[in-house]
Amino acid sequence: MKAAVVSFPGSNCDDDLIWALETVCHQAATKVLASATTLDGFDLVLLPGGFSYGDYLRSGAIAKFAPIMAAVRDFAAAGGYVIGICNGFQILTEAGLLPGALQANTSLEFRCAQAPLVVANAETAFSNAYADGATITLPIAHGEGNYYADPATLAALEANHQVVFRYADNPNGSLNDIAGIVNAQGNVLGMMPHPERAVEALLGGTDGLGVFDSLMAATKGEPHVQHA
């Protein structure tokens, strides 16, 4: 598996993703600047967490205009796997690659904590290494993680099994406890929790490995390995 980690001005989890992919999962990962215009040769594209362009206007609202985003749209349209984590999820919704929006947490406070999650759909390219209904714990760190969609969109997400992860103890007010969703085609995932921060026991847990193991299986990087 060859992964592209897109680095926007203000991204701060790009190196974390590269560490998780290269050092822990032994997969090739390349940092691609937001000014780039092509993603040729990659099997996976990741949009990291952070504060792209300072989160001015709205989180992700400026990043959607970065030159690389045209290539991300083309990559996704061709069926390539894309994952946006935290700020990356916000960018994907702003860019129209995922439905809905991320609003300010209902507490109006930045939340940084370990968040228990339920795997709501273990049959995606991003979750196949987990057991369906499994409870995992991943860290969150966001001020605008409150997922919102209009009633029709929310109903469609549920009917099409596009909700991949739910909060077991909702930390931000997200509708239907949504922590992560895929697009209708199943090749684009957005999630607020950080799997790349939970890939080594030294860091407090390895529950995030399932996301990367799932992608490796989907891209033939390594055999499927089931986690919790």
Q: What local confidence, expressed as pLDDT, does residue 167 receive?
A: 98
Tell me the average pLDDT across 9-36.
97
Q: Please confirm, yes or no, whether 26 is among the known catalytic residues.
A: no
Q: pTM for the whole thing?
A: 0.95
Q: Does residue 70 belong to any structural domain of this protein?
A: yes
Q: Does residue 121 belong to any structural domain of this protein?
A: yes
Q: Which residue in 86, 94, 142, 144 is the catalytic one? A: 86
d(CA 83, CA 209): 14
The tally of domains found in the chain comes to 1
CATH number, residue 212 = 3.40.50.880
Q: Which residue in 13, 144, 196, 227 is the catalytic one? A: 196
DSSP, collapsed to helix, strand or coil, labels residue 190 as strand
Mean per-residue pLDDT of the chain? 95
d(CA 80, CA 201): 30
Q: Please confirm, yes or no, whether 25 is among the known catalytic residues.
A: no
User: What is the domain range of residue 51?
Assistant: 2-218
The strand pair at 81-85 and 188-191 is best described as parallel
Q: Which residue in 13, 25, 144, 194 is the catalytic one? A: 194
Q: Please confirm, yes or no, whether 196 is among the known catalytic residues.
A: yes
Q: Does residue 204 belong to any structural domain of this protein?
A: yes
Q: What local confidence, expressed as pLDDT, does residue 224 receive?
A: 45
Instruction: Kindly give the residue spans of alpha helices, DSSP state H, lying in 9-51.
Output: 14-19
How does residue 213 score in pLDDT terms, banded at 50, 70 and 90? very high
